[in-house]
A and B are shown apart, each in its own frame.
Chain A
Amino acid sequence: MTQTLTRRSGTAAAPPAHAPRRRSADARAGYTFLLPWLLGFILLTVGPMLSSLYLSFTNYNLFDAPKWIGLDNYTSLFQDERFLQSVGVTLGYVVFGTPLKLAAALAVALLLNNATRGQGFYRSAFYAPSLIGASVSIAIVWKAMFGDQGPVDQGLSFFGINLGGWVGNPSMTMPMMILLTVWQFGAPMVIFLAGLKQIPQELYEAASVDGAGRLRKFVNITFPMLSPVVFFNLLLETIHAFQIFASAYIISNGEGGPAGSTLFYTLYLYLRGFSDFRMGYASAMAWLLVIVVGIITLIFFRTSKSWVHYSGDSK
C-alpha cells in the first residue's frame, strides 16, 4: 500500500517526442488493450458528466427540451432551506462519522496486529460488516434495531436510559447513522493492518532498548510510519461519506425524515431530480458536490506534507 502512495517523480513521464519505433508500437498495443475500458470511461462516465454539466445551467424537467437559464440553479441553491439543511446534515455526518470510523478501524487493527492466534478468523469476522453493511437488508435491520421497543431501546432501558426509538427522534437519527458507518470499519481496518505489518520490527526493538513505553512507541513510531496509510484511508472515507445514500434512503423511507434529519446531500439531489423532475437543479447540486469534494481533497494533499511521512523522505 505504501508503494502506491510513494511519490514517484519521472517514472510516469511521457516518452520523448522522437521515441524509438519499438516504443510507439508498444504504446499502440497498450492503448488497444485499454480500448474497452477507455470506451466505457468516455461513453459511460465522461459523456454523462459533461451532459450533466450542461444540464446544470438549464431548466430541465425530463420531458421538455432543456432551457438555458445560466447560473440560476446555482444561485437559487443558496436560498433553498432544504438544500442548506442537507448540507448541514451531510457535513455533520462527514465530520463526526469519518474520524470515528477510522479510529475504530485503527484500534481494531492494532489489537489484531498483536494477536498471535486466529488472526485470519478475526480479520474476516471484523471485515464481514463492511461487505454486507452497504446492503439494503442491513439498513432494514438497523431500522428495526433502533425502533421503539427494539433491542437498542430495550438494552438502554435496562440501564435506566429511556431514549425511546431512535428512528423517529430527529436528534437521535444522526448518531444512529454514524453508528452504522462506524460499524463498517472493516475495509480501512484491513488496509491499516497491511500498513502495520510493513513497519520494521527493528524500530520497536531499538525503542525498547531506549526504554520507550507503549504510548511512546505508538506516537513516535507507529503513527508516523503508518501516516501514508492513514492519509489514504482518510481521503477515501471522507469522499465515501459525502456520497452516503442507500442507507439513508431506506431508513427514512426515501423522504429524508424525520424532520429532515436524514436529508443527506445525495438523497435531496435524488428527490429533486426524480421526484420533483428538476434535473437541472439536481445536476447543479451534483457539480457543486464534485467541486467541494475536489477542494477538500486538494486541502488534504496540501496539508499532508506536514504530517504524512513517506519512507525515504529526508525529513
Chain B
Amino acid sequence: MISRRNFLTTVAVGTVSAAALAACGAPASQTGSAANPVTITYTWWGNDDRAERTRKAIAVFEQKNPDVKVNGNFTDFAGYWQKRATEAAGGGLPDVMQWDLSYLRDYAQRNQLLDLGTVKINTDAFDKTLLPSGQIRGKTYGIPTSTNAFAVYYDPAKLKEIGVAEPAGMWTYAEYKDWLTKIGQAGGGKYFGGSDFTGIWWQFNIWLRQKGIDAFTGDGKLGFSKDDLRTWLNLNSDLRGTNAVVPADRSAQVKPKSPFGSNLTVSENTWDNFMAGYLKDSGAKELKLVPVPSDDPDNLGLFLKPSMLMVASAKTKNKDAAARFIDFMVNDPEVGEIFKTSRGVPASKTQRDGTTFEGTDKAVVDYETSIGKYLKDAPEPPIVGFGTLEAAFLRFNEDLNYGKLTVDGAVDQWFKEAEDVIKQNA
C-alpha cells in the first residue's frame, strides 16, 4: 500500500528524474508527474460487472498515483485472444493486461511479455507455491491476482424443489453419477443433472492427477495415453442421452451462457470464482460448492490455480508505471474490497486480509479453506497452443453428445489435433 509519504517521494523522484532525463536528452523510460502524467493502457476480459469494478479500481489507482493515467478497455474472453494476437503481430500490445494461464507460454516464449523480475513488484505476501505458475524457465512473466479451485456447484433451491438431497462432497464417481441420475429422474425434463463432465478439460486433468498422471510433460508433450482418454470418456457413456446430462441441442442454444447459468441444470463442475457470474446469470439466491468426486479419498487431485494473472507487454515504454499498476492491482486491500471474489480469492495475503467476505463471497473463501489439506502443487503452465486443444476437447464432446462421433472417434480425432498442435509449435 502506498502511504502519503511514499506517494510524495514518488512524485518528487519522478519529477526530478524526469527533469534530469530531459536534461540528458535521451530518456530511457518515460516518467510522469502530476502535472504531466504518463498514460498506460490496460485491457481485460469480462462482463459489465467486472468492467464496473475495474473502473473503480483504476480511479483509486489514479488518485493514489497522480503521475499515471490508466486507459482501460475490455472484451469478452474469446474475442480477447483474437485481439491480442493481432496486436502482438503489429507490435502494439497494451502496457498492462489481464492474462490467462492457458496463453502464458504462447506469449512469454515468443518474447511478447515483460520479465517482471526486472521491475519492482512486491510479492512478499504471496504463497510461495503459487508464484511458479506465473513463471516460465525461471523467469516471472505473470503475477497471480487471485486463486481459484475446481469444484462442483449446485443449486440448493432446485434440489429442494425436486426433492433430491444435497451432496456432502467426498464422494466417488459412482456416487456422483448416482446423484446426477436422481436429479435427471426427479427433474422430469425441466432440470437436468449437469453438463457432460467428461467434456470439461480441467475435470479430466484433475482425474488424471487423481491417478498420478501429469497431463503434459515438462518438454511440452502429452503425459497421458489414448487409453486414458478413452477410459475417461467411457466413464459417462451410460449417462449420455439420459436426463442426467443436459442434451447438446439445449445447451447449444443458450450459448454464450452456460446451461447452469440458464437454469437448465442443477449442477456444474468448474472454477469457484464463477460464483458471481452464475448468481447473476441464473438469478439464484444461493449456490453451494463441494469438492469434485474422487475414487481415492486421500487424493482429490485439486490444486489452487491463478484464476488470472497480471502481465506487461515486453515493449512497454512505461515499465515503472506498469509495474506500479500491477503491484496495486494484486496487493492493495482497496482493490480486494472492490472485486471481492469475482476474480477469485485474492492471492496476496495483504489484499485478502484487507477484504471482508460475506454471503456467497464467503462461501468461495470457505470452500478453498475447507479443501486446504488436499491441495497439491499447481501443474506447470499449459503447453503452447493449449487454447486450441481445450476448445477441441469441448467440441469433440459436443459431437459425442450429438451422436456424431463415437468415443473411439473422439479419442482419435483429439489426439490427431493434439499431435498437430505440438508439431506446429515445436
Query: Is B a genuine binding partner of A?
Result: yes
B residues contacting the other copy or chain, number (CB 8 A): 33
Contacts between chains A and B (CB distance < 8 A), count:
73
Report if A275-B387 is in contact (Cβ < 8 Å); known contacts: A258-B398, A259-B399: yes
Bound-state CA distance A148–B86 (Å) is 36
Which listed residue (B106, B253, B388, B413) contacts A81, Cβ 8 A? B413
Q: Does A88 sit within 8 A of B, measured CB to CB?
A: no
Bound-state CA distance A64–B106 (Å) is 11
Q: Does B147 sit within 8 A of A, measured CB to CB?
A: no
Complex interface: chain B residues within 8 A of A147 (CB): 253
A64 to chain B minimum Cβ distance, whole angstroms, is 6
Q: Does A260 sit within 8 A of B, measured CB to CB?
A: yes
In chain B between 219 and 260, which residues have their CB closer than 8 angstroms to a CB of chain A? Answer: 248-253, 255-256
Q: Is the CB of B402 within 8 A of A276?
A: no
Q: Does B78 sit within 8 A of A, measured CB to CB?
A: yes
Report if A274-B404 is in contact (Cβ < 8 Å); known contacts: A59-B424, A81-B413, A259-B398: no
Q: Does B174 sit within 8 A of A, measured CB to CB?
A: no
A164 to chain B minimum Cβ distance, whole angstroms, is 7
A residues contacting the other copy or chain, number (CB 8 A): 26
Q: A interface, by DSSP: helix, strand, loop or mixed?
A: loop
Complex interface: chain A residues within 8 A of B112 (CB): 63
Q: Does B395 sit within 8 A of A, measured CB to CB?
A: yes
Bound-state CA distance A206–B88 (Å) is 69
Q: Is the CB of B253 within 8 A of A275?
A: no
Report if A62-B85 is in contact (Cβ < 8 Å); known contacts: A148-B250, A255-B395: yes
In chain A between 232 and 274, which residues have their CB closer than 8 angstroms to a CB of chain B? Answer: 253-255, 257-260, 274
Bound-state CA distance A278–B384 (Å) is 13
Bound-state CA distance A147–B257 (Å) is 14
Bound-state CA distance A81–B404 (Å) is 13
Q: Is the CB of B398 within 8 A of A64?
A: no
Bound-state CA distance A167–B250 (Å) is 9
Bound-state CA distance A258–B398 (Å) is 8
Q: Apart from A165-B253, A254-B79, what are 16 other A-B pairs with CB-CB below 8 Å?
A: A61-B424, A63-B88, A63-B107, A81-B413, A147-B253, A167-B252, A167-B253, A170-B402, A170-B404, A253-B78, A255-B255, A255-B391, A257-B395, A258-B402, A259-B404, A276-B421
B residues at A contact (CB < 8 Å): 78-79, 81-82, 85-86, 88-89, 106-107, 110, 112, 248-253, 255-256, 385, 387-388, 391, 395, 398-399, 402, 404, 413, 421, 424-425
